[in-house]
Structure formats: structure tokens, C-alpha cells
Chain A
Amino acid sequence: GAGVSQSPSNKVTEKGKDVELRCDPISGHTALYWYRQRLGQGLEFLIYFQGNSAPDKSGLPSDRFSAERTGESVSTLTIQRTQQEDSAVYLCASSRAQGYGYTFGSGTRLTVV
């Protein structure tokens, strides 16, 4: 596609429920990144995928967070047993390869009530 697409754009969920966020990167972009942005804050790195290599999960805050990516296509970020502190905007970005400029999606705004 022309840009990075994220869905849903907004998600309200009850505490304790699982949520799944989706990211469609730009076609041909081998690198894909997930970030979390709390209100008024900067970007917090979560996870990085590069082609078929093992992902860099060093930014995941707890084992309730996981992500998958099939090849160089769609990625899903799953948060299990959501907590109120998980409320944030989750941003996905892709790039031609690590080190090149990122193209970001508009994010998924997650609210845990």
C-alpha cells in the first residue's frame, strides 16, 4: 500500500480482556517496528522485525505483550489481560531496512477501562 495502515484506529476494552492490534506495512519494507506512546510522552520502543530474522523483543514491558509477523507482511501486537497502564497510542512503523527512515502509521489509541 501507499502507507502504513493500522487497525483499529481506536479501541476501548475492559480491564483483563485481550486485545489484538494490526499493522499493514508498506509493501517491500523488510523492517517493522512497534512503539507505545503514552499521553504527552515520547516513543517507547517495543519490538522490531527484520525479514525472517528473530525479532528484537527487548522493549516489550511484560510477558503480557507479544507480537507476530509473517514474512514481510502484516504484523499483530497482542496484549493479554489488559491493565489500565496499557492505555496509550500504539504506533507501527516500517522501513526499507534497519537504519533507513521510518514511515509511521497513524496509530491505534487503546483505552483500558
Chain B
Amino acid sequence: TQLLEQSPQFLSIQEGENLTVYCNSSSVFSSLQWYRQEPGEGPVLLVTVVTGGEVKKLKRLTFQFGDARKDSSLHITAAQPGDTGLYLCAGYNDMRFGAGTRLTVKP
């Protein structure tokens, strides 16, 4: 089992600010997935990163996979209240998720 550590655990910011959350492991992943969970719903897949050093953009969200494929980051530009939720990462072939970053964006 590959342990995934996410940081920070909680983040509360004002609308318009930028932020970065992290997903780290001591193990190498062949790929890594990011999910967002809104209250009362199941998590929704945002992106899968596969190649070391890969950067993927989804509107204001930028995902990066570390060169060594042991870590990943999610950067949100000009956060909006709709970005509020629990952000989770999960590694390929591992059924376990990180504990998540709970993001609150205040209007």
C-alpha cells in the first residue's frame, strides 16, 4: 500500500486568491488522480497525471506531477466560492486515497 499524504489539511481563503495543495508519497506512482468532493456528493475525477514532470490545466486549475512521480500539486488561480470542497488524490492501482485538503473559498 502506497501512503499518500496531503497538505494542508484545511485551507480557508478569500475569493480571488491563489492557492496550492500537495499530495506526497515516498513511493513511485505510475499515475495519480485528483478528485473534488462537494458536500453531500461523491468525489468527482478532475484529472489523471501520468508522466513525470507533466503539467495539466483545467481552466483555473493546474496539476503537476513530480519528476520522480512521487508527488503532485494542484494550483488554483483566482479561487472562487465554487471551488470549495474536499480535494483528494489517489495513486494508480491503489484503492486508498489521501486524507484530503478541505478548501473553503469565502466570497
Contacts and interface: CB of A to CB of B under 8 A. Distances in A.
A59 B33 contact: no
Contact of B45 (A43, A99, A102): A102
A93 B95 CA distance: 11
A93 B42 CA distance: 9
Interface in A38-65: 40-43, 45, 48, 56, 59
Residue in A42, A102, A106 with the greatest tally of chain B CB atoms within 10 Å: A42
B40 A43 contact: no
Interface of A: 4, 33, 35, 40-43, 45, 48, 56, 59, 91, 93, 98-99, 101-107
22 contacts: A4-B42, A40-B102, A42-B86, A42-B88, A42-B97, A42-B99, A43-B43, A43-B97, A43-B100, A45-B96, A45-B97, A91-B43, A99-B31, A102-B33, A102-B35, A102-B45, A102-B90, A104-B42, A105-B42, A106-B40, A106-B41, A107-B42
| 5 tightest A-B CB contacts, nearest first | A104-B42, A42-B99, A101-B45, A43-B97, A42-B100
